[in-house]
Amino acid sequence: MRIMSPISAIQTINHPIFKQHKISVQIKRDDQIDKVISGNKWRKLKYNLRHAKAIGADGIITFGGCFSNHIHACALACKQQQLSAIGIIRGEQSNHNNYTLSWAQHWGMQLSFVDRKTYRFRNDLDYLQRLQKQYPNYLIVPEGGSNSLALTGMAEVIDELNHQCEFDTIMSPVGSGGTLAGLILGDKAQHEILGISVLKQQNYLEQHVNELLPEHAKSYQNWQIMNQFHRGGYAKFTPDDAQRIHSFAQHVGVGFEPVYSGKMILALLDLMQAGYFSEHQRIVLLHTGGLQGLAGMFDRGLLAKQDWPELPIAPIKQQSSS
Ligand SMILES: *Cc1c(COP(=O)(O)O)cnc(C)c1O
């Protein structure tokens, strides 16, 4: 992770349906910030790693699933910053050699597998205090990197955009809410902020975003999370959803995946069709990255490899045998 941050590009995308509805769409290519440390995870880690260095921590402890973009990104970012990394992973040890986790270990992350019941304590104060006692010189970073330092990093997206273009609305996928909270903080109620929830939820994400926001930002009213575009739940999608994402990606020449950015695309298309946007509305899509997540879907036969963008880096087994 470079200390000087690169500024990600803003790119206009064209599609007949945008013309038909007379809206303009640009995409903020955070997926291009780094090949591996992708998109929003790079932004969210930036000040966390700086903080870890500043306090003289030995390393980072963080949390994620077996296919986590955050775990993958955090492992390499820590290596680059000469910090140790411990990943507390939800799920079976038998997953340790999948694409995501084999790379994480290759970059030096130490993995500790816990069952779902234990993983549920990941934000529990007692549990975290015990963990901190066990690893006194480590900075504990929550799942997905979403804490107040992450918001500072994400807020910089808006600073960049304010220099790059004029727009009315910014759209982003929402997982844990940290990304959206950072955008809200950085935006200072200048634009409409639309979060697309990629999971089924009962308004706890809105609550979580509010909890993450500093006091002065809690009164902003210019944001919402849309809950009707999760396509069945986290990482769930139908063959038809995948086909629509794939053909949109082909058309605009930008790679997406169906867990995060793809669901934002489907939401955009559905909202447009429903007449949600007004004529000449200028929309910016935040491409949050996450293409490494495709590997796990190829391996499990959930997607056909030839239809989707190339993985950022080759699987580690092939790499070492070549
Ligand atoms: C983690 C992630 C998100 C969700 O970000 P949150 O801050 O957890 O809401 C969106 N897109 C991609 C590609 C991600 O990896």
How far is it, in rounded angstroms, from Cα 283 to Cα 281? 6
Alpha helices in 85-147, H assignment, sequence order? 99-106, 116-119, 125-134
What is the 268 CA–ligand 1 centroid distance (Å)?
17
Tokens of 134: 């066990």
Mutate to test the pocket of ligand 1, among 151, 193, 260 (most ligand atoms within 8 A of CB): 260
CA dihedral 233, 69, 182, 9 (to 10 degrees): -110
Nearest-CA residue for atom 4 of ligand 1: 175
At residue 125's C-alpha, the angle toward residues 46 and 94, to 5°, is 70
| E-assigned strand segments in the chain | 10-13, 24-28, 59-65, 84-90, 110-114, 138-140, 169-174, 192-197, 223-226, 282-286
pLDDT of 319 reads 54
153 lines ligand 1 (CB under 6 A): no
Q: Indicate whether residue 39 lines ligand 1 (CB < 6 A).
A: yes
In ligand 1, which atom is closest to the CA atom of 182?
Answer: 7
Q: Please indicate whether residue 290, judged by its CB atom, sits closer than 6 Å to ligand 1.
A: yes
Quote the tokens at residue 315. 């699987």
Decide: residue 121, CB within 10 A, 0-12 exposed, 13-18 middle, 19+ buried. Answer: middle
Q: Rounded to whole angstroms, how far apart are CA atoms 207 and 212?
A: 9
Q: CA nearest 96: which of 65, 121, 131?
A: 65
Phi, psi at residue 261, to the nearest 5°? -60, -35
Residues 67 and 59: their CA atoms lie apart, in Å, by 21
Q: Taking the model in full, what pTM does it have?
A: 0.95
Q: Identify the pLDDT of residue 1.
A: 47
pLDDT at 92: 87
Give the pLDDT of the chain (322 residues) as one tens digit per residue: 444 567 999 999 999 999 999 999 999 999 999 989 988 999 999 999 999 999 999 999 999 999 999 999 999 999 999 999 999 999 988 889 999 999 999 999 999 999 999 999 999 999 999 999 999 999 999 999 999 999 999 999 999 999 999 999 999 999 999 999 999 999 999 999 999 999 998 889 999 999 999 999 999 999 999 999 999 999 999 999 999 999 999 999 999 999 999 999 999 999 999 999 999 999 999 999 999 999 999 999 999 999 899 898 999 875 554 3
Question: Is residue 171 within 8 Å of 286, Cβ to Cβ?
Answer: yes
What is the model's pLDDT at position 228?
96
d(CA 98, CA 66): 8
Give, to the nearest 10 degrees, the angle between helix 39-54 and helix 178-187.
Answer: 80
288: Cβ below 6 Å to ligand 1? yes
Predicted local confidence at residue 321, as pLDDT: 45
Hey, what domains does the chain have and what are their CATH numbers? 10-35+151-307 (3.40.50.1100), 39-145 (3.40.50.1100)
DSSP string, 2-64: -SSPPPPPEEEE--HHHHHTT-EEEEE-GGGS-SSS-HHHHHHHHHHHHHHHHTT-SEEEEEE
Count of alpha carbons within 13 Å of 249, Cβ hemisphere only?
21
